[in-house]
Structure 1
Amino acid sequence: MAPSDVPRPAKPPVVFDRDAEWEALVAFACDTRPGPGLGVVSGRLRQGKSFLLEALTGALDGFCFGAHQAARAESLHRLDDELALYTGESPAGHRAGWADTVDALLALGGRQPVLVVLDDFPELVRQSPELPSVIHNAYRRLRETGPNVRTRLLVCGSSLPVMHRLFSAASPLHELADLELTVGPLDFRRAAGFWGIDDPGLALLVHAVVGGSPAYRRYAGDRAPDGPGDFDAWVCATLLDPRSPLFLESHHLLQEETDHWDRALTHSVLSAIVSGCSTQGDIAERVGASLTDVSHCLSLLHANGLLRSEPDAFRPNLVRLRITEPLLAFEHAAVRHHGSALPRQDAAAVWHRARPVFETAVAEPHFAEICRTWATEFAGPAVFGGRPTAASHGALPGPAGREGPAAEAEVVVRGRADGRPEALLSVGAARWNEVMDLRHLEDLRHLVALLAGRGEDVARVRIACYSGAGFTPGLRAAEADGQVVLVGLDRLYREDQDP
C-alpha cells in the first residue's frame, strides 16, 4: 500500500525489539489510501504476536478481538458485544452469520484508517469454515464499490498449516493481502538482550534451553540466571520444577501445535532425532513404528515449523533433521528420561545426572547452530572474502567398511564470490567445551585437501575455528598469520560485523 501521511505512533517501551515488525504494521495500519486493507500476521506460538498486536491496537485506538475455543454462535455473540463496547453503540442483536459481522467490522474505517485485528484467526475458521470466503467476497465488493472504506483488517494466527492454506499463492485471499508478516523468535543476540544477560557463555546456555521465544521469560517467572554460576539452579527452579509453567511446556507445545495427533509417537520421534537418527528408516526402527506413521509425524512437525531438513554441505542428497524449538530438544535429549523421577527426587540430583547429556546432546550442537547463524547473519563479507548466503554441516564419507565420516566440518559457509553464487567460502569446526589448538587446524586442512581431490574449488576457502572455551597461543599465532579465522563467544555476541 502507499505510504501514509497519518502520524505514526512510536513503539511502546514495553515492546522489546521488533522494530522492523512495528514499522511494517504501523505503515499498513496508518495508510490513508481509499479502500479496505488486509494484512496477515503469522508465526509459531509463544513469539509475542498477540502482545505486539495488542500494543499496536492500543497505540492506534483500534479494535482487537481474540478468538477462544468456542462454538460459532458464542464467538459471534461475543464479538458483537465487544464491538458494541468499542463503538459505544447498543448491541446490534445476535447476528446469525459472519456476513453481517464482517460488514460491520469493515464499516469502522471511514475518512481515516481504523485498525481491526482478528487474533487466532485459525480458531475462527475452524468454527466457521465459510469465514475466508465471506471476507473475500466483502473485500471484492468494497474495493469495487466502497472506496471511502479505510478499515485495515489484520488477521493473526499460530497454526502455520492453516495460515499457509488460507494465504498461499493459490488462495483467493492472497491476492487481497497488502501485508504478510511473519513474527519469529528473537535471534541469539537479541535474546540475550531480552533476558538481560551480558555474559555470552551464559547467554548461549540459556538460548540452548529456551531459544528466542519471548513468552518463556514470563513462564520462568521473569527470572534470568544471576550469572554463570546460577545456571544450574535456574534450570532446576524453572524447567525442572513441576510447579513452573515451563515444566510441561514442551508437552503443551506439541499438543497445541500438532492438533492432538499421536503425541506419544511424536515425543518418541523427537527423542530419536536428538539421539542422532536422521532418516525416516532409522527413526522408524528406533521407535518401532511404521514408515507411514513416522513420515506423517515428520510432515506434521515440518508444517508447524518445529522441524527442518538441512542438506549436507558436501552431499546434498544426505539430509539432516534439526529441531527448531530448543525447548523441545532440551526436553527430549536431557530431561525426558529423568522426568518421572522429578516429583519424587530433588531436582538438583536429577539435573546432576542429566547435565552431561545436556552438554553433549544439546549445548554442543546448539553452539554449532549459533555459529552457522553468525556466519550468515552477522559476519561481514570481509570475514570470509565474500557474501555468505548459507551455512550448514558437511561430512565426507569414509572408506567402505568403516563407520563414521572421513572428515567433517560443523560450519561450512557458501556464498557469492567473483560472481559465483555457491562458492565455497569457509570450512570450520565448532567445539563448545574444548579449547581448540593446531590439531584442529590440521584436521580442517586435511578436509580441504579431500574436497580438492573431489573436484571442489577450494581456492578461496578460509579455515575457521569456533570455540566456546577458547584457543591456544599457537592457534592465535596462526590467526595472526592469516591461516585461520577464530570465532569465540565474545565475537559471536559482538555487535560489529567485522573484527
Structure 2
Amino acid sequence: MAFVNRTDELAALEAWWRSTDPRQAVVGGRRRVGKTALLQRFAQGRRSVSHTGAGRAAVGELAQLSRQAAIALPGRIRDLAARPYLDWDDALDDLAAAAEQEPLLVILDEFPEIVATSPELPGVLRAFLDRTAGRTRLRMLVCGSAVRHMTALQEQRAPLYGRFDLSLSLHPFRPHEAALMLPSLTPSDRALVYGLVGGVPLYLSWWDQGADLADNLLRLACRPGAPLLTEGQLVLATEVEHGEYPAAVLHAIAEGRTQYNEIKDYIRAEPARTLDRLVELRLVERLMPVTEPARSRRRVYRIADNFLAFYLGVLSRYRAEIERGSGKALLPVLIESLDGHLGKPWEEAFREHLRRLAVAGALGRDIVAVGPCWSAGGQNEIDAVVLAGRDRHPVLFGEAKWARSVDGRGISSRLLEKANAITSAVPAASERQTDDGAAGPDSGGTEGSARARLALCAREEIRNAPPGCLTVTAADIFDQQYPPEPRRSSLIGTWLEYAAWAAACERPMVLSCRLTSRRGAPSLTGRGRHERQGGEGGHPRGGPAGDRPTGQRADHENTALDHGGPADPGLVELARACLLQDDVVDDAVHGAGAQREIDAEDHGHGDIGRNVPAQAGRSAPYLAQAGVREAVLGFEQPGAAGQEKVPVFDAGPGGGQRPGQARPGRAARYRR
C-alpha cells in the first residue's frame, strides 16, 4: 500500500525533530488509520530504533527491543545479543548513551500493550526524562491505538503529564484525501467507495479499482470470512469498550434510533456515559442544529465512521446468510439497498467540503461554523448551513442529494422555503425580489441582512442551477488539490482572477479583457493596471503585479490562476453570467477558423450589450456580500455626445442594476 497524504502530520513531526532539546512526542489514533506507516515514513533516513509492543512479559519486550537496537546500532561495545536489556532503566540509559553525539529516534509503538505488562514504565520514563534533560540527543516517540489510554497518558494525574512537546491524533482520511488512494476511479465511484468504507487507509486499499461494484462487494463482503465481515467484528471487539451497552447503542443508532430517548428505550438503560465514550472515540457524532446554542437539547446521534455505519446498518442484516454461503444470491439485494444508505455519508462529505472551502477563504470572511440544521420535530432539515461573524449569521444554505443528476431549480426553491422557516434572516418566498430590480425565483441566494447564498450538491450534475448558486459535485469533493483552485475549463481568465485579488486586497484595479476565437476555440486574455498604495501592497502571495512600481501596466496573457489563491465565488459567478451566455459564445466562436475579437475598443460583434445587464443583475448581490462597494464588469458601449463610453452596468452597494449610471471607465473595475 503506497503512502499518501499526512503532509500536515509529517510537517509537525519534522518541526518537533528540529526543535532544541525536545521532550517526547505522542501519536495516537484508531487502529488501521496509518500510524505505523506514518512513523516508518518519518523514520526514513534517520538513526532510529523502533519497537512494537505485543503484550509480552517484560522480559520478552526487552529482549525484542534489544534485537531491534542491535540491528539499528551496529558496532557498539555492548553486545545486545549476549547481554540484552535487563529492565527499562537499563534500556533507556543505553539508548541515551547511543545518542550523545548524534540524534537517535526511539519509537515505542503500541505503547499500551507494553504498559500492560510493565505498568511501571510511565514512571520510569518520567524519571529518565527529568534526569537526562539537556544531556542527550535522544528523541522518544510513543504511539498507540488504545485511544482512551493514550489520552490518559497526558492527563494531570498521569506520571508523564506535561512531558510531551508534541501530541498528534491521526484520523481517517477526509474525502479529498481518500481520493489519493483511489486515483483510477471516477469521482462518482470515489464517493460510493468512501460512503461504504470511509477514510481508513487499509479499507480503501482493499478496493480493486479495476473491478466493478458487484465484484468488489462479492469479494470483500459476500463470502464467509470476507474482509469487511471480519473487520466489522474486530472493530466492535477492539475499538468499543467491553460490556453490552456500547454495542447496543451503536446498533440502535445504525437502525435509525438517533435521539436520546429512542436509544434509552432500545437498550433499556441510561446511555449518557456510553454515548460520551463513543463520541470521545469518534465512533459516534453528536449533532445539533448549527444555529442552536451549545447547550441545546435538540440533539441527535449518528455513526461517525462510514464503514461501521455500513457494517451495522446494512451488512450485518445479511451476515448470517453470507456465513451460510448465500452471499452471491443476495448480492443484488445488497447493492439495491446502498442508495438508501449512502445519503447520510454523502451529506457529511458535502459539509466537509464546505469546511475545506471555508478554510481556503472561498466562502467569505469570518466563517465560524458549518453544520446541519432543522426545526422542532425534525422538520425543515437543511443539510448544511454556514455561519459567519460573532453574531453567527447564515451566509450559505446547502442541500446534498445522493443522485447523479438533479434539477437545481426545484431543489433551490424548497431549500429557500426551509431556510425561511428556520431563521428570520431569510425572507419568505413572496418577499424575494423580482424583475423590478432584485433577485427573483432564479436567484442563487437570499436577500435580507444575512445575504445568504445557496449551495446544491449532486454526484455528477446540477441542472438549471440558479445564477450565483454554488454547485458541488463529487469532482469537487474528491478533488485532490488542496486548497481547491477555480476551474480552468471556463472562459474566466487572468483578468477576473486579478480583479478578485485586487478586491480582496482592497486595491484599486483597472482591467480590460479580450475574448478571442481562433479555430473555433474561445480564449480570454487580459491587461491590468494596479495602483499601489503608499509604495506597498502588491499581491499577498507574490502574484503577477506584486513587485511592479506604482501605476505600471502589467500584461497577462494565458496565465489564468497564477496568483495562487481562489477567486471570490461571487466574482466568478458574475463573470460566468456575463460571458458564458449561449448567444455570446456562439457569436464569438461562430464558424470553424473564425478570428474575431470583442473588447473594450470594439463593440460591433455579438449581443454583449444586451446580455450583460440582464445576467449581471442577478449575480450582483454576491459582489455586495463579498464586500465590494463598486463593481463594473463587462464590455463598454458607445455613449452619447462625443462617443463617450460608459460601463454597461454598475453593481453598487445595494446590488441593484443601474445601466449607464456608472462613471466612465475601463471594462472592469472593483473597489471595496
TM-score, structure 2 length as denominator? 0.63
> Which structure would you say has the larger RCO, counting Cα contacts within 8 Å and 6 or more residues apart?
1
Partner residue in 1 for 2:566:
none
Deviation at 1:381, TM superposition (A): 6.7
Q: Is 1:320 aligned to residue 300 of structure 2?
A: yes
Match of 2:196 among 198, 206, 209: 209
1:167 equivalent in alignment to 2:137: no
Asked if 1 retains the 8 angstrom alpha-carbon contact of 2:224 and 2:324, the reply is: no
Are residue 451 (structure 1) and residue 436 (structure 2) matched?
no
Task: Give the letter aligned to residue 28 of structure 1.
Answer: W
State the distance in 2 between where 1:52 and 1:200 align. 26
| Equivalences, count | 456
Matches of 1:90 and 1:106, distance apart in 2: 16
Aligned residues of 2:16 and 2:22 also touching (Cα < 8 A): no
Residue of structure 2 equivalent to 1:189: 176
After superposition, the CA RMSD in angstroms is 2.7
Report the Cα distance in structure 2 between the residues aligned to 1:485 and 1:85, rounded to whole angstroms.
Answer: 57
Look up the match of 2:557. none
Is structure 2 residue 90 aligned with structure 1 residue 100? Answer: yes
Contact 2:232 2:308 in 1 (8 A): yes
The equivalences for 1:52-67 within 5 A come to 52-67=38-53
Q: Deviations over 1:301-327 (max 9, x none)?
A: 223222221222234432222222211
Residues 1:409 and 2:389 are matched in the alignment: no
1:369 to partner: Cα distance? 0.2
| 1:410-425 aligned within 5 A | 410-416=383-389, 420=390, 422-425=392-395
Aligned mates of 2:176, 2:277 — CA distance in 1: 29
Distance change >3 Å, CA 169–CA 188, structure 1 → 2: farther
**Match for 2:262 among 282, 286, 293?**
282
Residue 77 of structure 1: SS of its match in structure 2?
helix
3-state DSSP of counterpart to 2:302: strand
Q: Give the CA deviation at 1:14.
A: 4.6
Contact 1:448–1:458 (CA<8 Å) still a contact in 2? Answer: no
Matched, 1:343 2:323: yes
AA matched with 1:429: E
Deviation track 1:357-411 (CA, whole Å, cap 9, x = no partner) reads 33222x10011000000001135777543343422111112xxxxxx53412011
Q: Which one-letter code corresponds to 1:248 in the other structure? A: T
Give the structure 2 partner of residue 377 of structure 1. Answer: 356
What amino acid is the match of 1:21? E
Match of 2:115 in 1: 125
Q: 1:431 aligned to 2:401?
A: yes
Matching of residue 225 in structure 1 with residue 204 in structure 2: no
1:23 maps to a residue whose letter is A
- Give SS of 1:435's match: strand
Q: Shift in Å at residue 210 of structure 1?
A: 1.4
Runs of 5+ consecutive residues of structure 2 not aligned to the other structure: 428-447, 488-672
Is the partner of 1:60 in helix, strand or coil? coil
Measured in 2, the distance between the counterparts of 1:491 and 1:410 equals 17
Cα-to-partner distance string for 1:62-82 (whole Å, 9 max, x where unaligned): 110111022223222322343
Give the conservation status (yes or no) of the 8 Å contact 1:379–1:497: no
Q: Judging changes above 3 Å, is the alpha-carbon distance between structure 1 residues 58 and 437 closer, same or farther for their aligned structure 2 residues?
A: closer
Question: Shift in Å at residue 188 of structure 1?
Answer: 0.9
Question: Relative to structure 1, is the Cα distance of residues 412 and 170 closer, same or farther in structure 2, using a 3 angstrom cutoff?
Answer: farther
Is 1:431–1:467's contact at 8 Å kept on the other side of the alignment? yes
Which one has a larger percent helix, Structure 1 or Structure 2? 1
Cα displacement (A) at 1:438: 2.3
Which position in structure 1 is the counterpart of 2:280? 303
* Corresponding residue number in structure 2 for 1:113: 103
* CA positional deviation for 1:199: 0.8
Off by >4 Å, runs of 4+ in structure 1: 169-172, 379-383, 454-458
1:465 aligns with one of 437, 446, 456: 456
Match of residue 216 from structure 2: 234
1:149 aligns with 2:149: no
Aligned to 2:7: 19
Letter in structure 1 aligned against 2:153: L
Match for residue 471 of structure 2?
A: 486
d(CA) in 1 for partners of 2:287 and 2:217? 30
Q: What is residue 6 of structure 1 aligned with on the other side? A: none
| Structure 1 residue 272: Cα displacement | 1.6
Relative distance call for 1:14 and 1:371 in structure 2 (3 A) is: closer
Larger radius of gyration: 2
Please give the secondary structure, in 1, of the residue aligned with 2:68.
Answer: helix
The question of 1:140 aligning with 2:125 is answered no
Secondary structure at 2:128 match in 1: helix
1:189-226 per-residue CA deviation (whole Å, 9 max, x = no partner) reads 121221224411100110111111112244x2xx4233
1:90 corresponds, among 79, 86, 92, to 79
How far residue 332 of structure 1 moved from its aligned partner, in angstroms, is 0.7
Deviation digits for residues 255-310 of structure 1 (CA, Å, limit 9, x no counterpart): 12225x02x54333222212222233211322x4322xx33432332232222212
1:28 aligns with 2:16: yes
C-alpha distance in 2, partners of 1:20/1:449?
40
